[in-house]
Structure 1
Amino acid sequence: MLVSKMVQIEFTDSSIQAADAIYDIRKAAESASINLNLRYDVVLQYPMLADENKVVVELKIPEEIVDTFSVGNHLRGISTYLLKRCGGRYDKYLVGKRLLNYIEIPTPEVKTDKLPMVDRLEAIVRFTKLLERSDSEALDYINRILIILKEAEKV
């Protein structure tokens, strides 16, 4: 199972916005995504603009490595691409040895009201077993379930 993480990409030098370099960042992410996928089975989605001037990218990381996966360390391929394959266009934006910052955006816990498929199948199996019985207790339970189902149809 893959765990999704949202990461905001911004230049370390505040004189340039990542949105101004979105085309190059997308090409760099495309290049970096091949390496991440081959090495770690990590899927790097297409970088998108958010809030007019922010660049965000979604990472889908295998559940078994998500706790030890260092986002900034593994996304440095984007910086490397910008520095080595863009004709020196971004060299003047280096701060120390760093070009980009990768900020993980906390995503709110998604609370779902859906009953998991395993629980649904278990309910079907239990109801089927109940239907196979013909004793008065089973019939009472079946009638109560049918009443609940009829009430749910009205809602």
Structure 2
Amino acid sequence: ALVAAGFPPADDAPHQVADTGLIGRCQVRRYRGVQCVLDVGHNLEALTRLRGRLPAHAGRRRLVLGMMTDKPVEAVVALFAADVDHWYLARPAVSRAADTGRLARALPEGAGAGRFDSVAAALDQAVADSGAGDQVLVLGSFFTVAEALNAMDQGD
């Protein structure tokens, strides 16, 4: 991109680019001792890729989910349904967000789930419910991940 714009790149540019990552894209972070994986993916292609890259864990998997109304909620839930032990449904604080009722209707019959007023509350409960070796996934929207990261930064 620098060359195309007429700027010669620095000699160490390849190393700088190699060390660059996207915040919220398969981002692994420990929060209150629990492994959390955050991903801004909100379409089936991105989340299928995430599912194949999830870090190993020894315990249960809990999923904090918040999505926008125009996204494929049912397909995303189906993609993760077999691997999730409990769902934490939240509505990000934006007008386009799907309400927790819509998210709950997409879950498989009998799935364990809680509905929360905020992503922060859902994340806090998922982490509180977790034990050694458990993993918390946070996904479904840029807004969901941003609110979770903000809660983590304030709660550390």
- With structure 2 as the length reference, what TM-score do the two structures score? 0.25
**Structure number with larger C-alpha Rg:** 1
Higher helix share: 1
With structure 1 as the length reference, what TM-score do the two structures score? Answer: 0.25
